[in-house]
Amino acid sequence: MPTSQADVHATLAALERAQTALNRALRDEQNDQLADLDAEVRRLERERSRLVQQRTSRRDQFAQVPPVRAQVLAALNIAGRPVASRLLADIARARYGYNIETRGLASLRRDELRSWRVYSEHPERAVAKPDLIVPALSYDRFTPERGTLALSSWKLADRIVAPASGRVDVLVVASNLARLCMASPNDPWQADLARLAGRIGLSTRPFAGTLALPSPNEILDAAAAELGIIIPADQREREDSASRAAGLLGEEDQLFGAAPLGLTTNVAGKRVS
Amino acid sequence: MNARRVASIVEAPGCVRRTVLDAAGVDTTFLVQQLGFKRDRQSPLAISRAAQFEALLERDGRAQLIQLARRHLDLELSDVRVKDLSVAGTRSQVRIAADTRRTKLTKQELGHILRREPGAANLLVKPLTTLTIGNLEAQLEQDVLAFAEQGALHVVAIRNFYMTRDDADPTLVGQAARETAVHVLSLQRMAEALGCDRAQISTKVLLVLPRDLLFVPTGVVIDVADEVEHLEQAIGRIGDIEDLAESLDLIALPPPPETLSSEDDHEQFRGEVRGALRAMPMRFGDGCVSCAMFRSCRQEAEAERSTARLGSVVAGLCGETGSIDAVLDLVEGRRAPQSISEAAISDVLQRASRAIERAEIAGVA
C-alpha cells in the first residue's frame, strides 16, 4: 500500500527533528532523556526503511520464490534417488536458483508426517494422494536415515539405503542430471547443473587425478560402467530389505521409518528425527 | 583422553606429572585456566575452515575421498559399502550408552572385515576404539575413516593445514603421523583381541589435506610404522600407573570453586593447585609445547631456575647440574667442578664464553 508523498515528507521531517533532539541531549549531557529519544529515532528510521523498500519494490522479487516444500519436491523429482540434504540443496540451486537452507528441513519432515496423518484419517478430503517428502530408511532397522530425503511415490526398495546404496544413488543422480543437461543444451541452468554432475563424475575411475570436469556424455558413460558392476548386488539387498519391511511395518512406518529401539515415544506417538 | 593426548606421551616421555594427570583423566586445560593462564583457543576462522573442509569431503557420498583412496592407496573399491559408526549413525539402538554401543559395533564390523566375510563394509565412518595405557582404558574417538580391502585396513586422517605442490609443514605432518599412529595401534590391538593378525591393519595411512590455499583435497600416504613403534615403547614404559601414583606423596587437587569472592580466596586456591601439582615431579623439555600444562610448568621451571627452561639441548649438555645458577657458578669460577661431567660442562662453557668475548671485541657480536 504505497504511502502518499505528504506522508513521506512528514516522516522525514519528524525523523530530522528527533535526530536533532537526540544530538542536543547528548551534547548537553541530558542523560535521562537519551533512552526515549533514541527509541523515537529508531522507530522513525524503521518507518523510513519501509518507505525505501516500497520504492525499490524488492518485495515483488520475494513473491516469486515458491515455498520450501515445493522447492524440495522439485529438486527430489530431478534427483530420482534418495539424496543428502546438501546435495539436494545444490541441485535446487543449480537448476532453479533456489536457496534451500538445510537446517529447515528437519521441521519440514515433521510437517510432512502431520500432513500424512491428517490425510490418512480423512482420505476423502484430499484431492489426490499427496506426494510426500520422506526420509530414506536404513536397510537393517528401517529407522530414518539422518539428513537424507526421498519421495513417498518412489517404491520402498528405492527408499531404503543398504551399505552400498550411498555410492549407487549418487551415481544414478549424476546420470539423471547429465541426461537432463543433454536434453536441454541451451537452457540457462544447463552449465550449473552440468558442473554439479561433473563434480560427482570426477570421482569415477576414468577421471582419477584429472581436474577438468567431465562432460555430461562422459559422466553417463563412466557412471554406467561403475553402476553396471555395483547395482545388481545393491538392488538385491534393497529388495530383500523391502520385503522384510513390508511384512513388519505399517503404512506410516514404511513411509516415515520405524522408531529406534528402546526409545520411548512422545505424547504424539512418534519421534521423528 | 584423545589421540592427541596419547600421542604426546611420546613427545614428553618420563614426565610423571603428565602421566598421572592423564591417567586420572584430569581436564588439564581447565586446570591450567584455574591457575590463571589464558586458554589456548583455535581461531574461529580455523575451526570453520576445518568444518568446511570436512563437509566438502563428506559431499556426494564422500566421492572425493573414495577417489583419493583409489588413487593413493591403490584400492579397487569397486563398490563402496559404508558402515557409519558415529553417534548419529548408531542411534538405532538407544538403549545402550553411545560409547559402549559404538565400540561394540566397531569391534563387530572390524571382525567382519578382517575375516574377509562377504558383505563386510569397506568404509568405516568415525569408528570408536579403545587403547589400554598403564592399566586404564582410553576410549579413542577416531575422527578418521578407514578403508578396507582384502582383509586389510587403511586409516584415513583429515587435517586442515595445507600442502603446497611438493610438501607440507613437516612439524604438522609429524604431529599428524603421531596422532594417527595412536589410531593404528589401537586398531592393531583390537585386531589381535579378535584373533586376527595385527599386520592386517596397515601402517600406511592416507593423509588428506587441502591443496595450497585452494580447498581442493589432496592425498598423501605416510607410513607410521616408526611412530607406532615409538608409541608402543612409550606406553610400555608407563607401567602400572597406580603403583606409580602410590609411590608419590600425592596431594589431592582442591575441588573446583563454586564461589570465590575475594582475591585472597583465589590466591589460596591457586596455591593449593600448585602444591598438588608439585607433588608430582615433572620433566620439562622440548616436547612439552603441545601439552596443556606447558605454560604452568614453564613458569615453574623458570622460578626454579632450571636448565630445562633453556631447552632440551642445553639441559642435556648440562647433565646433572640442573640449576642455571649452579652452572654459572662453575663457569665463572665461583665453584669448583665436583665431578667429571661438571668439569666437562665448565670447560665447554668457558671456551664459549671466551669466544663470545673475542667476537665482541672484534665487533661481530
Find the distance separating the first CA and the last CA of chain A, reported in whole Å: 42
pLDDT digits (tens, 9 = 90+) for B23-69: 777 778 888 888 888 877 777 777 788 888 989 999 999 999 999 99
Q: What is the DSSP letter of A105?
A: H
Dihedral sign, CA of B309, B314, B315, B320? negative
Inter-chain touch A163–B95, beta carbons under 8 Å = no
Interface test with chain B among A167, A227, A253, A266, by most B beta carbons within 10 Å: A167
Q: Which domain holds residue B338?
A: 304-365
Is B16 part of any domain?
no
Residues B179 and B2 sit within 8 Å (Cβ to Cβ):
no
**Per-residue confidence band for A268, with pLDDT thresholds at 50, 70 and 90:** very low
The answer to whether residue A262 neighbours chain B at the CB level (below 8 Å) is yes
Is B116 part of any domain?
yes
pLDDT digits (tens, 9 = 90+) for B94-153: 677 888 889 999 999 999 999 999 889 999 999 999 988 776 777 787 766 778 888 899
* B131 and B224 belong to one structural domain: yes
> Which of B63, B79, B91 comes nearest A203 by C-beta?
B63
Cell of A137: 530408511
Taking Cα atoms as reference points, which of B130, B131, B81 lies closest to residue B109? B81
pLDDT digits (tens, 9 = 90+) for A98-128: 999 888 888 888 889 888 888 888 777 666 6
Q: How far is A15 from chain B (nearest CA, A)?
A: 40
Taking Cα atoms as reference points, which of A161, A159, A158 lies closest to residue A138? A161
Tell me how far the alpha carbon of residue A183 is from its chain's centroid: 25
When the pLDDT of each residue in chain A is averaged and rounded to a whole number, the result is: 88
What's the pTM value of the predicted model, to 2 decimals?
Answer: 0.76
* B92 and B182 belong to one structural domain: yes
Average pLDDT score over residue span B192-214: 92
* B210 and B127 belong to one structural domain: yes
Query: Does the pLDDT value for residue A272 go beyond 50?
Result: no
> Which of B67, B89, B91 comes nearest A202 by C-beta?
B67
What is the rounded distance in angstroms from the CA atom of residue B51 to the CA atom of residue B45?
10
**C-alpha dist (Å) from residue A112 to A122, A149, A152, A256:** 15, 12, 10, 9
Of B211, B238, B265, the residue at which a domain comes to its end is B238
What is the rounded distance in angstroms from the CA atom of residue B87 to the CA atom of residue A201?
30
Average pLDDT score over residue span B240-250: 77
* B225 and B309 belong to one structural domain: no
Is B204 part of any domain?
yes
Query: Does the pLDDT value for residue B291 go beyond 50?
Result: yes
Average pLDDT score over residue span B337-342: 85
Of B238, B264, B291, the residue at which a domain comes to its end is B238
> What is the maximum span of chain B, computed from C-alpha positions, in angstroms?
79
When the pLDDT of each residue in chain B is averaged and rounded to a whole number, the result is: 85
Q: What is the pLDDT of residue B43?
A: 77
Inter-chain touch A164–B95, beta carbons under 8 Å = no
How long a stretch of residues is chain B?
A: 365
* B221 and B359 belong to one structural domain: no
- Top pLDDT among B224 and B365 is at B224
> Which of B55, B60, B81 comes nearest A199 by C-beta?
B60
Q: What is the pLDDT of residue B94?
A: 63
> Which of A209, A211, A262 comes nearest B95 by C-beta?
A262
Of B181, B208, B238, the residue at which a domain comes to its end is B238
pLDDT digits (tens, 9 = 90+) for B24-35: 777 788 888 888
* B315 and B208 belong to one structural domain: no
State the total domains in chain B.
2
- Top pLDDT among A257 and B246 is at A257
* B220 and B316 belong to one structural domain: no
Average pLDDT score over residue span A250-258: 92
3-class DSSP string for B116-172: CCCCCCCEEECCEEEEEECCEEEEEECCCEEEEECCEEEEEEECCCCECCCCECHHH
* B326 and B224 belong to one structural domain: no
Q: How far is B73 from chain A (nearest CA, A)?
A: 13
Interface test with chain A among B62, B65, B79, B86, by most A beta carbons within 10 Å: B79
- Top pLDDT among B76 and B142 is at B76
Residue type, B248: L
* B87 and B165 belong to one structural domain: yes
* B143 and B222 belong to one structural domain: yes
Q: How far is B83 from chain A (nearest CA, A)?
A: 7
pLDDT digits (tens, 9 = 90+) for B350-359: 898 899 999 9
pLDDT digits (tens, 9 = 90+) for A154-209: 999 999 999 999 999 999 999 999 999 999 999 999 999 999 999 999 999 999 87
Q: How far is A128 from chain B (nearest CA, A)?
A: 34
Taking Cα atoms as reference points, which of A41, A44, A43 lies closest to residue A8? A44
Is B165 part of any domain?
yes
Is B286 part of any domain?
no
* B233 and B308 belong to one structural domain: no
Partners of B124 in the beta sheet? Answer: B83, B146
Find the distance separating the first CA and the last CA of chain B, reported in whole Å: 48
Residues of A within 8 A of B60 (CB-CB) are 87, 170, 199-200, 203
Is B129 part of any domain?
yes
Q: What is the pLDDT of residue A273?
A: 42
Is B265 part of any domain?
no
* B82 and B223 belong to one structural domain: yes
Closest chain A residue to B80 measured between Cα atoms? A164
Q: Which residues contact A202 (CB under 8 A, 6 or more apart)?
A: A210, A213, A214, B63, B64, B67
* pLDDT-above-90 percentage for chain A: 64
Is B359 part of any domain?
yes
